[in-house]
Structure 1
Amino acid sequence: MAVEVKEHNTKVEPPCSTNSLSNYLWEDHPDEEKWADCVHCGMCLESCPTYLETGQEQHSPRGRVHLIKSVAEGKLEVNEQFMDPVFQCLDCRACTTACPADVDVGGLIEEARGQVRQAMPLKGWKGAVSHLFLKDLFPYKNRLNAVGGLLKFYQKSGLQQVVRKSGALKVMPKHLVEMESIMPPIQQSVQKKYKDVDVIPANGQPKATVAMLTGCIMDVMFADINQSTINVLTYNGNEVVLPKNQTCCGALHVHAGDRETGKKLAKQNIEAFEDAEKVIVNAAGCGCALKEYPELLRNDPEWIEKAEEFADKVEDISKYLYDTGYEKPYSELNKRITYHDACHLAHGQGIRYEPRQLLNDINGVEYVEQPNADTCCGSAGIYNITNPEMAGAVLERKMENVPRDVEMISMGNPGCMLQMAIGVQKYGRRAEIVHTVQLLDWAYQQDQRNGIGQSDGKQPVAAREG
């Protein structure tokens, strides 16, 4: 059942403001506690993709913190000059990792964007497009599945080849043409595939029951990764539940400043997963957003405790497998692979070691560490669509660090997969873009074809403490 939240556009006094001069006139103003520890030391500068590209202070983490604080002190208005640095940020969280005081710049940015969009709502065609995707499409599974069906027809019917050969794509912006060129094959969503199944059974004796977030874009564009996630979970003795009334995580909405819709989606997901002991996620951005529901709902006394309980259940697939133990594959993939740290996995959730260990536990994998593996690729949700020039510059810097002789680039986030696929194509690389869980699934499938693995009674990798 969807949770209704009334939209409004009424100015209110900030409920927690300690400064009557503040120019934040809307709910959810940036939290003073988040900037209080910033001493403008500059440790964040070399970690910030936009500062590295522009060299401009207002496009650095400490510069943005200063601007956000200035609005709170009444020294600056919420206007175009404030909006540009706030929305140019990739919200990659690398600055918080670099910060000795752990200043939550990402949280400040998202709260500031909420203020901007309240004070300066998008209008014209930009407002219409934003409303179409954020409010009319992403929150509704049936509509997303319909779009998926159209994309599948576009690919399978031959229309895609006709459009490409006709030159019709030349009228589109360059970055959208690039996105079309690397669009993955559309497959049936797992929500649709298992719509009549209450519980997907474990292989053999079940050891746990977990719920899985299927996501919005994930289940339309990357249904094969969702299926691989189910395969790996069930192979390792987990029963899998796909709550029917789950919805989009709301990450894109919060990044865009639409906090009201983000809250609505958060409440729906909290209710959908109420009975789950674990909520497994295979998309870094989604997992980070789910874990930050307590931040999003911090001013809602009715929901804050529920949000905290929910956030404690959320686990990335790589960390869940590492912590609970998984069967090490016995077949060989024989691939030279490097790993890209998705920002919201490495910086947002602090998960770095676990996915690398999964890769190293696959026989035949020659793992090559990527220099600066945790630098942003420029995807950042839909940043590569809304800020294509900066995203392209960040991607170019990223591709310079990708080893040239690898056959695969593994990662744990769909947005990164699309952006890195553009990079591979644009810069003449031959590497295949894969999700980490896919590699484990492929190795298990090879085991099953070879008649080895579970049926041989071989022991799984032991569960880890912590």
Structure 2
Amino acid sequence: MTPSLREIDYSVLQQCMHCGMCLPTCPTYDTTRRERNSPRGRIALMRSIADGELQLGKEFAKEMSYCLGCLACQTACPAGVDYARLFETARADIERQGIQDEPSRIFWRTLTLRILFMNPRLLRLAGRVLYFYQKAGFDRAMRRLGLMRLLPGNLRRLEPQTPQVCSRFSHDLIRADESPAGETRHRVALLTGCVQDLAFSSINRDTADVLLANGCAVHTPAWQPCCGSLHAHNGEPEMAAVLARRMIDLLPPEEFDAIITNAGGCGSHLRHYSHLLADDPRYAERAREWDRKVRDIHEWLVAIGPRVPGASPFESETTVTYHESCHLTHGQKIVAQPRVLLRMIPGLRYVELPEASWCCGSAGVYNITQPEQSARMLDRKISHIAGTRALVLATSNPGCHLQIARGLREQGLAVTVEQPVTLLARAYRRETLSA
């Protein structure tokens, strides 16, 4: 079992020097200017619990829910405080104590975390149902007739952010094993994700195509478990550990040169299986090897030397800017590589986005649980995007993609949201057509 705050290695809590370097990077502190809403303040609360001076209670749970978990503080911290570990430990403590339990919350957590996201077949079945619901126009009819107001509050907030489910999922688009046309330089496994699989399966196809174009043989199992990120971030480390074992069994790391992920939030969690399984004698060493093999798609391409496409993804020069996914930048420390890929694509004029690393407010389910704070952050992000006059906003996480696309629609801005790998795949395809 994951240790509680009172059992955790106390040196992790002691690392915080209270220097305040994290304060300017924290979106919640930036909004309220309250110490308790800062990383430093939250660590002080955690330390008080570890010392027995403060009891776990609803106010502490409320504070941990207000934190985005964006990890910007972790990047800024000169002492190297592992805030992600502290944050997940605190949330796990809260769930174990049942501090926030109420019937509706228990129902939705059971349905999502314990049932749907533990079973990929059920999750895809739910995706099919949602696809036909959207395809038949029931969602539009409910909005037109005002029936959405009859839904519970959380569902009303969720509905506008529900992604359009794809007609074909990743296993319909990508064969289990695909080989490049030329020489095979590397053998990799491709992770298709959960939201990415249901709502952005074409991005998984794009990722496979880019890997093939760069000499990689690609293995993509049809039925992949959830990586466990959602569970770990929401106080369910034991379920996250179960999913980590399933993933390692499905894709033995010793069989691949790299295990590729294209979603920033998933990738950050996937690289820490060794922490989840450190006390498991059967999996600890395999988890360490897994961590060594996991690579973000941008990171991997730059490492092996990407092939520069001979065509542009667009008919004319197009201005592109880039929003950094929090867990790609702060969780995985991948900052330069997406920009390297964007700048090498012909016909793209890259412009830097002000506050590119500032969270967009998606943060998993934060836009549902903290809609007002999320909306403030989204407005700030959209304002900066508008100022660049870019026609394309590139980002590398499905949550950011959905959040920013919704903000752009609501503001009436003609800016499309794409992943860098999609732009690269499109350029390779146009190159082939030109030839």
Q: For 1:371-393, what per-residue CA distance to the aligned partner results, in whole angstroms no more than 9, with x for missing partners?
A: 11001111111111222222112
The correspondence for 1:178, drawn from 154, 157, 160, is: 160
The correspondence for 1:284, drawn from 264, 273, 277, is: 264
| 4+ aligned runs moved over 6 Å, structure 1 | none
Cα separation, 2, equivalents of 1:353 and 1:62:
28
Q: For 1:121-169, what per-residue CA distance to the aligned partner results, in whole angstroms no more than 9, with x for missing partners?
A: 6330111101100110012121121122122212333334433333323
The one-letter code matched in structure 2 to 1:187 is: S
Once structures 1 and 2 are overlaid, which stretch shifts more, 399-408 or 262-271? 399-408
Identity of aligned residues (%): 37
Question: CA-atom RMSD, angstroms?
Answer: 1.9
Once structures 1 and 2 are overlaid, which stretch shifts more, 386-395 or 55-64? 386-395
**Counterpart in the other structure of 2:82:** 104
TM-score, with length taken from structure 2: 0.93
Cα separation, 2, equivalents of 1:92 and 1:31:
23
The correspondence for 1:402, drawn from 379, 385, 389, is: 385
The correspondence for 1:191, drawn from 161, 166, 171, is: 171
User: Is 1:164 aligned with 2:119?
Assistant: no
Cα separation, 2, equivalents of 1:112 and 1:439:
39
- Alpha-carbon shift at residue 106 of structure 1 (Å): 1.7
Cα separation, 1, equivalents of 2:139 and 2:372:
26
Cα separation, 1, equivalents of 2:412 and 2:173:
36
TM-score, with length taken from structure 1: 0.87
**Counterpart in the other structure of 1:20:** none
Cα separation, 1, equivalents of 2:63 and 2:103:
22
User: Is 1:131 aligned with 2:110?
Assistant: yes
- CA distance 1:66–1:298, shift in 2 (3 Å): farther
Matches within 5 A, 1:253-402: 253-274=231-252, 275-332=255-312, 333=314, 334-402=317-385
Cα separation, 2, equivalents of 1:370 and 1:244:
37
> Gapped runs of 5+ residues in structure 1?
1-7, 15-22, 452-466
**Counterpart in the other structure of 2:126:** 147
Q: For 1:66-116, what per-residue CA distance to the aligned partner results, in whole angstroms no more than 9, with x for missing partners?
A: 111111110011111221112211111100111111111121000111111
The one-letter code matched in structure 1 to 2:127 is: G
The one-letter code matched in structure 2 to 1:370 is: L
**Counterpart in the other structure of 1:213:** 191
Cα separation, 1, equivalents of 2:224 and 2:351:
37
**Counterpart in the other structure of 1:38:** 16
Cα separation, 2, equivalents of 1:320 and 1:424:
30
Which SS does the other structure have where 1:307 is aligned?
A: helix
Cα separation, 1, equivalents of 2:422 and 2:201:
11
Cα separation, 2, equivalents of 1:298 and 1:352:
28
The one-letter code matched in structure 2 to 1:434 is: E
Q: How many residues align?
A: 425
User: Is 1:50 aligned with 2:33?
Assistant: no
Q: Would the aligned equivalents of 1:210 and 1:238 in 2 still touch at CA under 8 Å?
A: yes
Cα separation, 2, equivalents of 1:193 and 1:372:
36
Once structures 1 and 2 are overlaid, which stretch shifts more, 132-141 or 168-177? 168-177
- Alpha-carbon shift at residue 305 of structure 1 (Å): 2.0
> Gapped runs of 5+ residues in structure 2?
none
- Alpha-carbon shift at residue 345 of structure 1 (Å): 0.5
Q: Would the aligned equivalents of 2:328 and 2:335 in 1 still touch at CA under 8 Å?
A: yes
Which SS does the other structure have where 1:312 is aligned?
A: helix
- Alpha-carbon shift at residue 243 of structure 1 (Å): 3.0
